[in-house]
Structure 1
């Protein structure tokens, strides 16, 4: 390590805090420059406040980007086992839940931030909050940062971990891209990911708050682009829930390319089409004098019934079950198994959990996260064109890329 090395970390999120700790452990003097009034605010919002900090089923298939293979070496260099050990040493006992999701035993994201900040204090790392960097100047030796208030900070190495554009209220507003571009770095166009979808349908207000366990697929040009299962939630603007968030990147990508896309819902994924048809025929035959809409009570959410029947083309939902034709029953089955609704947009950056797109990895060293254009400049986390699915994958990328960048910045 260079003697008296000063590392400047711009951005105090998951990647920035990990980078600072890695550099501090290697003996560097470290300063974290954070725009908000305190570091780690976005960590507090992860995992619905519980911080799903990694996933034991780590695999490159859960990540995305123009060149997703770039992430492989970094994820292996500081892997899930090392991440769990890193936090175990800091005091985070962990537990594994459905889908391999790893949470702190305390079920509190605040626990994760607390132990990271304790380690930062122990390493005598300086936190400079309420400080926004507006310019990075590369000098013959080291860097000079210019802040919004005209203050300047000088250091030997810079690690840029300002995040992407998702959740700007938590500090990431895309400013890091401007800083990187000013130094010659290219940016892959950014789109919101892990975000709710807006739909084109007249019945959304009537279904607001209705949940069901089912399957959702993104349909484009009659082909299924991706499919996910779990709890799905109707909203007054469209649709939400974990499966929808997983699908949202594909939707945002398609919409950016002006493609017509649909969400296709299957409310009975455990039944084949023919099985559901047979079940409905038997159900409607139990009490042939009963009104059709009332015959679905106990099978579907009450608010779903009139909407499903109307969308299936049933003009009189109160007519008796005995008057229903096989053709009408088949249309209802189609509606329950293949309900298509046009996607018109995603929710805003404010609602997005992560950013798809970002700094082109072709300009970044895949082993050290160092810029190939500016020696001594490093990147980590969401600012880079690597993003993951729900389930702890984005945080793992933050920890891995942050730790590797922090270590590499302290080496000759």
Structure 2
């Protein structure tokens, strides 16, 4: 088809929708983006703390989740992390690689990523209509009729549904695409917040809020570790946060949704084995036998954390001399330092979540093309599907990859 005849509507102007629109536009399609917000790409501006974590150099399917994570493999191969970097380099985004393989714009500005994407849309003459909330998609013999909230109708030969999930509703993610997909016959895996802080049951959290540690954490269910991560952990007034917690939050939420009791294990001291730690603490005690217990850990443990740790170890008199500490009490201190367990009672809300777990069931989508198996000509891209990634650029890579596959195949199929 010529550009004037091959009409594609992309519903949603987030990362996946913008990439899909650009790819389709480069294939000479006439592309229209319908975006419910006042501008496209609002969520892109918030990614990577405003720096936009474009992708990750350590790309592996193990970093992706869902009812069937392997569904993502083909799209990730069609447009991989190296191709994503090259794509943005060609648009003008120089990149740099930081810890854990995270890739950022050299400018450290998420706004620069959105700027070049919008510039490319303009170059390709992609029509962008904002404040255009889609209320209905109807399939007909020639294609689709798409109706927006104000009653305006649009025709397209193909439709790409890239409305995102429910995370960060303040940035426009309302889950509206789920209803559109369900009305067209698609099944939904119940969505829940992921990459989000965890709420804990303990009453002492206000005493230690704001404390950061470099440690390890694990989700425990039925006394078995279900997932683990390490890095900077932050205690908050309501629970716990930080990159490792974000990575574990999906597993925690998954089990909580099954009404299982979920525990979080935190290891504060990770560079020593239990035996080495036991010997080290004993030496500290022996070197200064007249110090009181709470003061004996100053210089080793965050001062604000020490009294809470000792009380959690079951020691009533935290001011007694270290010479009076029994071997059984030392063992309890070791347990807290390397196996401190908290009951997880929930996650923070959708407003705090970075991504959605769950979504449109991928069993009804062709992994090669992102086309619906139920409605020919309907394609999916990004977070709307039941695929989500770890913290560190994996969710944006999924947006780029699935957007590329949907945009390309919507034109070529």
What is the TM-score when the length of structure 2 is the normalising length?
A: 0.98
Confirm whether residue 392 of structure 1 aligns to residue 393 of structure 2: yes
1:134 aligned residue:
135
SS, match of residue 350 in structure 1:
coil
2:190 aligned residue:
189
Number of residue pairs matched?
Answer: 412
1:47 aligned residue:
48
Q: What does the per-residue CA deviation read over 1:295-314, in whole Å, with 9 as the maximum and x for residues that have no partner?
A: 11111111101100100011
CA distance in 2, matches of 1:381, 1:35: 16
- Whether contact under 8 Å (2:164, 2:173) holds in the other structure is yes
Confirm whether residue 109 of structure 1 aligns to residue 79 of structure 2: no
CA distance in 1, matches of 2:276, 2:86: 48
SS, match of residue 69 in structure 2:
coil
1:124 aligned residue:
125
CA distance in 2, matches of 1:112, 1:9: 19
1:215 aligned residue:
216
2:286 aligned residue:
285
Deviation at 1:291, TM superposition (A): 1.0
CA distance in 1, matches of 2:83, 2:339: 43
Q: What does the per-residue CA deviation read over 1:219-253, in whole Å, with 9 as the maximum and x for residues that have no partner?
A: 11111111111000000000000000000010000
CA distance in 2, matches of 1:2, 1:134: 29
Q: What does the per-residue CA deviation read over 1:32-84, in whole Å, with 9 as the maximum and x for residues that have no partner?
A: 11111100010011111111111111111111111111111111011112111
CA distance in 2, matches of 1:180, 1:52: 29
Confirm whether residue 97 of structure 1 aligns to residue 67 of structure 2: no
Q: CA RMSD in A?
A: 0.9
- Whether contact under 8 Å (1:195, 1:347) holds in the other structure is yes
SS, match of residue 412 in structure 2:
coil
Deviation at 1:173, TM superposition (A): 1.0
SS, match of residue 373 in structure 2:
coil
CA distance in 1, matches of 2:70, 2:346: 29
Show structure 1 runs of 5+ residues with no match: none
Change (3 A) 1:193 1:38: same
Task: Decide which moves more: 125-134 or 147-156.
Answer: 147-156
1:154 aligned residue:
155
2:343 aligned residue:
342
CA distance in 2, matches of 1:233, 1:98: 19
Within a 5 Å distance, the mapping from 1:3-402 to structure 2 comes to 4-402=5-403
CA distance in 1, matches of 2:389, 2:235: 24
Show structure 2 runs of 5+ residues with no match: none
CA distance in 2, matches of 1:192, 1:354: 7
CA distance in 2, matches of 1:5, 1:181: 26
- Whether contact under 8 Å (2:69, 2:387) holds in the other structure is yes
1:404 aligned residue:
405
Deviation at 1:99, TM superposition (A): 1.2
Q: What does the per-residue CA deviation read over 1:6-27, in whole Å, with 9 as the maximum and x for residues that have no partner?
A: 1100000000000000011011
Runs of 4+ in 1 over 3 A off after TM superposition: none
- Whether contact under 8 Å (1:2, 1:411) holds in the other structure is no
- Whether contact under 8 Å (1:2, 1:410) holds in the other structure is no
CA distance in 1, matches of 2:412, 2:217: 48
CA distance in 1, matches of 2:76, 2:62: 12
SS, match of residue 163 in structure 2:
coil
- Whether contact under 8 Å (2:2, 2:28) holds in the other structure is no
Deviation at 1:2, TM superposition (A): 5.5
CA distance in 1, matches of 2:366, 2:228: 34
